[in-house]
Structure 1
Amino acid sequence: MTDQVLAIDLGKTGCRGSLRLDGQQTRSADAPGAPGLANAGGVAAAERAIRDVVAQITTPTTTFTLSIGAAGAAAAPDAAAQLARRLTDLPGAHGIAVTSDAVTAHAGALGGAPGVVLAAGTGAVATAVDAAGRFTRTDGWGSLLGDEGGGAWIGVEGLRAALRCHDGRAAHTALAAEASAHYGVALDDLPKHLGQHENPALLAARFAPIVAAAAATDDTAAAIMTAAGHALARTVLATIDRSGIPSPAPFAITGGLTNLGAPLLDPLRRAIAQRTDPRAPLGEPIDGAALLALDAGTVLEEMVVRIL
């Protein structure tokens, strides 16, 4: 019998699981995400999310290779190894692979081939792999220090603009009323509302689609979206430069932020047009996790922690 694969895409927003046999999905499940392996308590939160998804998908007789792409694994490889060890007691798991969700995004988008991939969701990270297998990562430093142009970044910038308007420190923006309506609290209570949430980056990122929608009629929102597109472009261009991949570099973008559409993607694409050869993603990060589960021969292998 062909080995089953249980692929996990663990981001800061959600945790997706896909059980596959011969490459075809047989079951799937979703659970809330985790703040990231580099955060305090990040390994424990990741473990809880993964066990939740695995419990939804498997039965007592299910056997599988577990392959996980987890947010924060690239910044905290020791935490990735710890997570792998903590999951060895999962019933039915006869092999575990843990890597960064940026790595699985690259594998899913380009199928393990060289090139540059921008993964833009709650966070933002670009990765490159050249023909010799050399791996380059840019940003992905988390919402406090990086992830510029990502969903949490856009959401925070929108909320900051709302509070500046509320204080009279800046011109009027529709984002002030939108923020209060979206979170169901007065603007004065926004800091407490976000600060008491176990995953503030996730909560802030939920405001990003509202900022993008407001960009059509609100100058402040439009400026935030343009700035986000330019920030992502800087990440992509820096990745090309650091990797040494000749321009135009094979390039794909993946992640939930692509759903924000033209307000974000137009400035991004204009800024990188001369340096990239755009490709439609072959698949999603969860497809990359499934690929890496059984294939230890890709150029990404050195980024994968395996326990067999």
Structure 2
Amino acid sequence: MTNHILAIDLGKTGCRGSLRMDGNQVGYAEAPGAPGLAHATGVTAAERAIRVVTDQIAALPTTFTLSVGAAGAASAPDAAAALARRLAEVPGATAVAVTSDAVTAHAGALGGSPGVVLAIGTGAVATAVDDAGRFTRVDGWGPQLGDEGSGGWIGLEGLRAALRAHDGRGPRTILVDKVREHYGVDLDALPKYLGEQDNPALVAADFAPVVAAAVDDTAAAIMTAAARALARTVLAAIERSGIRPPVPYAITGGLAKLGAPLLDPLDHQIGHAIDRRDPLGDPIDGAALLALDPATALEALVTRISDTY
């Protein structure tokens, strides 16, 4: 097995690649994300995003292990397998591992140990692993069917509230002006603008920090509702996994940067059931860990292409 690992964190917002040698990062690149492997063009979009990252990394070694955590892999295992086959054609990739970004988030945050990890970005998913290695996943169903409390969900709720106020169907809110400032379009043009985007959930998620920062009763209510939705997700993962509280718990993902408007009400609702841990690493660290260790409790969720395994 090569000592070089190219770990990829492919989300709906962005795609990050970290080239590592003996645990040390020696190369890094970023590119736009992809709509998720469950999307009709998900495999092609994912491969494109990953190849953009690999092309940007200078002095890519002649041989390396390519390990990917991709949004949508858990709900579209056939697409994950198809992506692994395509990535096996990347020059220099002597071994390929593909799994869900929720799995790499868990591995990165808790280092393969039992517990619950809430990963929140454009989407939202909670994953649990018990002492026997049983894996439980809650939500992560995408912007049409789930991802409640996520960046995409918060952003869309903010846009809907602005349109309700614009119509006179809802209370006045500063979010009306914030939409104009942030997107540079009038409210009447917002549906057309959003519909023209390749990744509407990502464009909506970009509005989530605006909602979190708005000093407004409507915006505050959206953040409280998001926290309640995320709390339901975490508590459901704990209950379904059968892990007895207090459960080792970590939170990861870009939405955690929203801070108190989201995390304070979330912590208030789940504090009785969790043993909060600082995440050991992020999803890209989890991808690197899974590249090295095919014997973790998460192995059944990893698709590998290699003569080694």
| TM more than 0.5 | yes
Please state how far the C-alpha of 1:59 moved relative to its aligned partner.
Answer: 3.8
Q: Cα RMSD between the aligned structures? A: 1.0
Please state how far the C-alpha of 1:181 moved relative to its aligned partner.
Answer: 1.2
Partner of 2:256: 258
Name the aligned partner's letter for residue 304 of structure 1. Answer: V
- Alignment equivalent of 2:226, drawn from 225, 228, 234: 228
Residue pairs, 1:187-226, within 5 angstroms: 187-214=187-214, 217-226=215-224
Q: Within the alignment, does 1:96 sit opposite 2:92 as a pair?
A: no
Residue pairs, 1:141-220, within 5 angstroms: 141-214=141-214, 217-220=215-218
Partner of 1:126: 126
Partner of 2:16: 16
Counterparts of 2:295 and 2:213, CA distance in 1: 43
Partner of 2:32: 32
Give the secondary-structure state (helix, strand or coil) at the position aligned to 2:20: strand
Give unpaired runs (5+ residues) of structure 2: none
1:157-210 CA-partner distances (Å, limit 9, x unpaired): 000000000001111100011011100111101011111100000000000000
Preserved contact between residue 2 and residue 64 of structure 2 (Cα < 8 Å)? no
Partner of 2:74: 74
TM-score of the aligned structures, taking structure 1 as reference length: 0.98
Preserved contact between residue 60 and residue 91 of structure 1 (Cα < 8 Å)? no
Give the secondary-structure state (helix, strand or coil) at the position aligned to 2:48: helix
Give the secondary-structure state (helix, strand or coil) at the position aligned to 1:62: coil
Please state how far the C-alpha of 1:58 moved relative to its aligned partner.
Answer: 5.0
1:19-66 CA-partner distances (Å, limit 9, x unpaired): 000100000000000000001101100000001101111546532100
Partner of 1:274: 272
Moved over 4 A (4+): none
Preserved contact between residue 2 and residue 21 of structure 1 (Cα < 8 Å)? no
Partner of 2:288: 290
1:85-126 CA-partner distances (Å, limit 9, x unpaired): 011111110000000000000000000000000000000000
Preserved contact between residue 72 and residue 100 of structure 2 (Cα < 8 Å)? yes
Name the aligned partner's letter for residue 67 of structure 2. Answer: S
Give the secondary-structure state (helix, strand or coil) at the position aligned to 2:163: helix
Give the secondary-structure state (helix, strand or coil) at the position aligned to 1:299: coil
Counterparts of 2:238 and 2:189, CA distance in 1: 42
TM-score of the aligned structures, taking structure 2 as reference length: 0.98
Counterparts of 2:43 and 2:18, CA distance in 1: 21
Counterparts of 2:167 and 2:137, CA distance in 1: 39
Counterparts of 2:191 and 2:42, CA distance in 1: 22
Query: What percentage of residue pairs aligned between the two structures are identical?
Result: 72
Preserved contact between residue 2 and residue 63 of structure 2 (Cα < 8 Å)? no
Preserved contact between residue 148 and residue 230 of structure 2 (Cα < 8 Å)? yes
Name the aligned partner's letter for residue 139 of structure 1. Answer: D
Name the aligned partner's letter for residue 295 of structure 2. Answer: G
Moved more, 222-231 or 60-69: 60-69
Counterparts of 1:305 and 1:107, CA distance in 2: 15
Preserved contact between residue 14 and residue 33 of structure 1 (Cα < 8 Å)? yes
Preserved contact between residue 4 and residue 61 of structure 2 (Cα < 8 Å)? no
Give unpaired runs (5+ residues) of structure 1: none
Counterparts of 2:58 and 2:6, CA distance in 1: 9
User: CA separation of 1:24/1:196 partners in 2, compared to 1, >3 Å: closer, same or farther?
Assistant: same
Name the aligned partner's letter for residue 229 of structure 1. Answer: A
Please state how far the C-alpha of 1:2 moved relative to its aligned partner.
Answer: 5.7
Q: How many residues align?
A: 306
Partner of 1:305: 303
1:240-297 CA-partner distances (Å, limit 9, x unpaired): 0000001111000000001101010011100001111000000000000000001001
